[in-house]
Amino acid sequence: MPSCSAAGAQGLLAHDLVDEIHLMASPVVLGHGRTLWARTPDKTAWTLTEATVYGDSTLVTIYERR
């Protein structure tokens, strides 16, 4: 699946259309920003299936829905 905006990801998650999530994290302090995970009454279970570090600080994780 191609990447999408936070709003696009929230919409897909809200409609239960996601079975795998790829997240890339690089530690940067910005002070504020958008929330990726909206508040939802129901929770889904995810399992970390892969984690890879690139360079000195970038972490890519893959989660699959249980």
- Separation between Cα atoms, residue 44 and residue 65, nearest integer Å: 7
The answer to whether the pTM exceeds 0.95 is no
Instruction: Tell me the per-residue pLDDT of 6-32, one tens digit each, with 9 for 90 and over.
Output: 778 778 888 888 899 998 888 877 777
Residues 27-55: what's their mean pLDDT? 80
- CB-based contact 35:9 (threshold 8 Å): no
Which carries the bigger pLDDT value, residue 50 or residue 12?
50
Q: How many residues does the chain have?
A: 66
